[in-house]
Amino acid sequence: MRFTIIAAAATLVSAVAAQYQAFITAPIGTTEWTSASSVTITWNLNATAKALPLAVDLFTGDPSHQTSVASLGTSTAGSSSIKVTLPKVASNWYSVRVGDSWSHYFIIKGDGAVPSGGPPTAAATTAPAATTTSAASLPTSTGSATTTAVATPTPTKSGANLLSAAPAALAAVAAAAAALAF
């Protein structure tokens, strides 16, 4: 019985979280845009999505170290596209965030050579290496280590709206759990 209550609660919470999501349809992984050009970013909203304006931002960097390049604008409530002018940027892999959703990496051709190879992947970390030698003196250790900083997410307006819906969702989960328990 408890498992049923927990499963029902998880389903309700995930349904509330999904209602503010956009599925980005352009740009996609094969997209190549030109720096400083006019482009259209498109997405599909969840059918039950609340009509909210969504912030649209341009990022670069590997998945664990995204760097904001520019705010491209804010969509009108309920819209599924926005036409923007890209900033003048260097040739590189970029991604777009619409609300809380991220696009695939795509190339913007700008200053410098177009990147070769595939899109960025998560940064690899190197474990510390240590060697110990013994002689007439005490053992010594030499080594090197690489640390990776973790990016701190920045809340967006649409994320704040999701959080403001949390108390209502929790109340609905509690009511459902109480109804199932008795």
pLDDT score, position 177: 58
Q: Is the pTM of this model over 0.85?
A: no
- List of the chain residues with pLDDT < 50: 10, 12-18, 127, 130-135, 137-139, 147-164
Is the bond preceding residue 139 a cis peptide, omega within 30 degrees? no
Residue range 14-45, pLDDT digits in tens? 444 445 578 999 999 999 999 999 999 999 98
CATH code of 22-122, in short, is 2.60.40
Domain ranges of the chain: 1-19+165-182, 22-122
Q: Is 11 helix (H, G, I), strand (E, B) or coil?
A: helix
pLDDT score, position 131: 47
Which residues face 92 on adjacent strands?
108
